Amino acid sequence: MTDRRRTTELPRLGVAIVTMGNRPKDVDALLESVAKQDAPPARVVMIGNGTPLPEFTGLPFEVTTVELDDNLGCPGGRNVALARLREFGDVDVAVELDDDGLLVDADVFSTIQSLYASDPRLGIVGFRIADELGETQRRHVPRLRAKDPMRRGLVTAFLGGGHAFSMDMLAETGDWPADFFFTHEETDLAWRALDAGWKVLYEPSLLLQHPKTSPARHAVYYRMTARNRVWLARRRLPLPLVPLYLGVWTLLTLLRTRSVGGLRAWAGGFVEGVRAPAGERRPMRWRTVWRMTRLGRPPLI
């Protein structure tokens, strides 16, 4: 337990950004928005995910850069950033931001500090994501009743584009599942946090402006969505819930997917998820299932 929990000191923030080097203007704009925050970060780490990085100058903070030889995927790259923040030893809360995101308001970091200072069991804070017109896509609201993106509260999931982690929580739960590479890594981490008794808060006042996109723009989307969902169930769910969870998502996929090629890729990923090693099995407790149910989203959908 860190000293800040026994004092009135605000937690120290570290910022982690992962980039593939294909959005240099967006990265510059994001760093400028970090520089305008009313609570300066203790550290800023930039990961080049299989790409070299330029020098970042003219900012009121130093950007620590790490260039990886290979693209480790978003969760793998973020794990490298978290490891670097730990090495510094002066970060209590890690703020992770998509490289094409933008912090519109200047009080994002100070709000995060206040949230964590007021609740020692707050593990994850999810931001609201909206495009340039202020629209939040339905998939970016981390609850089943997604009509109101401004509805604040405890949830069972968070948004990968902009969020904050308690470093104490990560020390207990572990970092991102790097082998997922893309999709559902947030769910795996959120379920572990909830099972360890930490809270996940959706705080819509924390806005990350982000271009409107579809996850299906990535060529590997359908395959990895299916594979990782099977892995997620095999790793984290009590055995009786595994077929129920996968059955629900198979039905939803068949109803929602209009692409024949997409369905073929999804089926291949599902088979891969069944056959390939899923990693350590650490199923959640039944009391966590009940807790998630009371929060409005049982681990079935």
Q: Is pLDDT of 300 > 60? A: yes
Same domain, 145 and 229: no
Q: Is pLDDT of 150 > 50? A: yes
Q: How confident is the model at residue 220 (pLDDT cuts 50, 70, 90)?
A: confident
Q: What is the mean pLDDT of residues 35-52?
A: 98
* Among 194, 213, 232, residue at a domain's last position: 213
Is 288 part of a structural domain of the chain? no
Report how many domains make up the chain.
2
pTM here?
0.94
**Range of weakest confidence among 89-98, 116-125, 143-152:** 143-152
Q: What is the mean pLDDT of residues 5-28?
A: 88
Q: How many residues appear in the chain?
A: 301
Same domain, 29 and 83: yes
Structure tokens at 160: 């990968």
Contact 103, 208 (CB under 8 A): yes
* Among 213, 248, 265, residue at a domain's last position: 213
- Percentage with pLDDT > 90 across the chain: 89
Q: Is pLDDT of 142 > 60? A: yes
pLDDT (tens digit per residue) in 160-174: 999 999 999 999 999
Same domain, 236 and 272: yes
What is the model's pLDDT at position 147?
A: 83
| Residue at 211: amino acid letter | P
Is 300 part of a structural domain of the chain? no
Is 301 part of a structural domain of the chain? no
Same domain, 272 and 126: no
Is 161 part of a structural domain of the chain? yes
Is 232 part of a structural domain of the chain? yes
Q: What CATH number did the domain enclosing 139 receive?
A: 3.90.550.10
Beta strand residue intervals within 79-222, DSSP E: 93-98, 102-103, 122-130, 153-154, 162-166, 199-209
Same domain, 245 and 156: no
Same domain, 231 and 96: no
Same domain, 62 and 200: yes
* Residue range(s) defining the domain that contains residue 116: 3-213
Is 235 part of a structural domain of the chain? yes
Q: What is the mean pLDDT of residues 72-78?
A: 97
SS3 122: strand
**Using CA atoms, how far apart are residues 179 and 47, in angstroms rounded to an integer?**
18
Nearest 5°: the CA angle 29, 33, 34 is 115
Same domain, 263 and 202: no
| C-alpha pair distances (Å), 292 with each of 156, 194, 210, 230 | 6, 8, 28, 19
Q: Is pLDDT of 6 > 60? A: no
What is the model's pLDDT at position 3?
A: 44
**Using CA atoms, how far apart are residues 141 and 204, in angstroms rounded to an integer?**
9
Q: Which of 88, 74, 92 minimizes the C-alpha distance to 45? A: 88
Q: What is the mean pLDDT of residues 221-235?
A: 96
What is the model's pLDDT at position 31?
A: 98
Same domain, 100 and 35: yes
Helix residue ranges per DSSP H, the chain: 24-35, 73-88, 108-118, 167-173, 185-195, 221-236, 241-256, 260-275, 286-294
Burial class of residue 109 (count of CB atoms within 10 Å of its CB; 0-12, 13-18, 19+): buried
Same domain, 59 and 93: yes
Is 186 part of a structural domain of the chain? yes
Q: Is pLDDT of 145 > 90? A: no
Same domain, 86 and 39: yes
Q: How confident is the model at residue 228 (pLDDT cuts 50, 70, 90)?
A: very high
Same domain, 271 and 203: no
Is 10 part of a structural domain of the chain? yes
**Range of weakest confidence among 66-80, 101-115, 212-226, 231-245:** 212-226
Q: What is the mean pLDDT of residues 145-170?
A: 94
What is the model's pLDDT at position 217?
A: 52
**Using CA atoms, how far apart are residues 181 and 185, in angstroms rounded to an integer?**
8
Q: Which helix (H) or strand (E) element contains residue 15? A: strand 13-19
Q: What is the mean pLDDT of residues 177-198?
A: 97
**Using CA atoms, how far apart are residues 76 and 292, in angstroms rounded to an integer?**
27
CB 59: neighbour CB atoms within 10 A?
13
**Using CA atoms, how far apart are residues 278 and 138, in angstroms rounded to an integer?**
29
